[in-house]
Structure 1
Amino acid sequence: MRALPRRVVVPVALLGAAATLVVAGVPWAHGTVPTVLSSDEITVDGTSAAPAVPALALVGLAAAAALAIGRRWAVVLASVVLLVAGASVAALSLGVVLQPEPAVLEAAGRVSGVRRLDGPAGATAAPFLAALLGVLVALAGLAGLVGRRDWGRTGRRFERTADPASGTGAPGREAAAPGPGAAVSERDRAMDDWDALGRGEDPSDPAGRR
């Protein structure tokens, strides 16, 4: 799997988790409940059909935020959380798609006092969408695990390099002072020039300098 940059993975995880939280608030299943005089149509939203889904979406939001600002170890942990949370959302949502009746029966008991339906229960498109969003969040977690080695560490401090134009450099580095060897060399040269003058030679003449 090709590593994706953090600036792509994090928004995908955030949007996927936030959208899951929104979708959990709409009807997921429906059915007809018999009453004393007639039958009533009832609907069940995601928070009742799969109560763990909104909580997993909040966990996904927190993990996506940690993925955005975390260092390498935090990226690994956040990616694992996203992977598990997304897979769990997908599994729970598909469970409602395949078997919507238990959630509707629970709601029927609250409405009429009897856990009974007139006809089969059905699922709306919302759990399908939630399952897809869960897969998206899980893929974002997988992308975080794959790309963690290529992502730079957030908050890393870089040292300033030397600026030739301004003459500034890295802290602690100063221009090297002339060593004692250079001072001795200049002193020997002055003594040689003095000796040349004593011999009647011109020390400024290259031919007469030793």
Structure 2
Amino acid sequence: MRPERMKLPAILGILAGSGLALLSWSQTWFEVVLVAGAAAGGATTLEVGGAVASPAIAALALAGLALAGALAIAGPLIRLVLGLLAVVLGGCLVLAASLSMADPVGAASGAIAEATGVAGAEPTAALVDRLTQTAWPVVAVVGGALVALAGLAVVVTGRAWPTSRRYGGGTRLAADGAQPAPASDRAVDDWDGLSRGDDPTDAADEPHDGTR
């Protein structure tokens, strides 16, 4: 694909990756079976969501969504900066999810402590009889990798993207076939005229043949 056509795929890649990570964060990451009598309420199975196992995922994913929106209107230099930020965000998403998968008992310790009233890494680990990981942490890793790859595409191709056009509030026709003046320029001209004591409505009231 030509570099100038990578704008939409790159932005969609960041949106999709951030969306996957945010969806994963809202789901169950681990199912923990406690030893008999560990929980005060009698429950022996806990479902640990991504909000507990890796709370940073939500903030990183939301930052990715905002970054994708900024990319849609950014200029060439800002695209480069945002592309680098997307690579960093994607890497952080991968790291956050990977750390939880590397130490699932530690990631679930908050939920275990709330259910049992026991705090501390070793005491809570002693209360775990069995722990099962779902597929959602892997989805978060995939989402982070997608954000990082899309960010890399922005860094490589962003300077070749077409520049977004600015939308003016309106135009006016100028004499002798000149280019229409933007509404912002007209407002400045009118303000300057008022500062000199001129009435900007006089020109509009004058006939085109120069007579009154």
TM-score (norm 2): 0.69
**2:186 match:** none
Say if 2:133 is the partner of 1:123. Answer: yes
Please name the residue that 1:30 is paired with. 31
User: Could you say which residue in structure 2 is the equivalent of 1:88?
Assistant: 92
**C-alpha distance in 1 between matches for 2:103 and 2:156:** 35
- Is 1:147 aligned with 2:170? no
Q: CA deviation at 1:39?
A: 5.2
Partner of 1:12: 13
Q: 2:30 touches 2:108 (CA, 8 Å); kept in 1?
A: yes
Alpha-carbon distance change, 107 to 171 in structure 1, aligned in 2, over 3 angstroms: closer
The unaligned stretches of length 5 or more in structure 2 are 119-123, 168-175, 181-212
Instruction: Report how many residues are paired.
Output: 162
SS of 2:26's partner is: coil
Runs of 4+ in structure 1 over 3 Å off: 1-4, 36-39, 168-172
Q: Of 112, 117, 129, which residue of structure 1 is paired with 2:116? A: 112
Deviation digits for residues 85-126 of structure 1, max 9, x if unmatched?
A: 111101111122221110222211101102242324332110
User: Alpha carbons of 1:151 and 1:37: their partners in 2 closer, same or farther (altered >3 Å)?
Assistant: closer
Matches within 5 A, 1:60-99: 60-99=64-103
Instruction: Give the structure with the higher percent helix.
Output: 2
TM-score normalised per structure 1: 0.69
Gaps of 5+ in 1: 158-167, 173-210
Q: Give the Cα–Cα distance (whole angstroms) in 1 for the partners of residues 86 and 64 of structure 2.
A: 6
Aligned match of 1:180: none
Q: Which one has a bigger Cα radius of gyration? A: 1
Structure with the larger RCO, 1 or 2 (CA within 8 Å, 6+ apart): 2
Question: Which residue in the other structure is 2:62 paired with?
Answer: 58
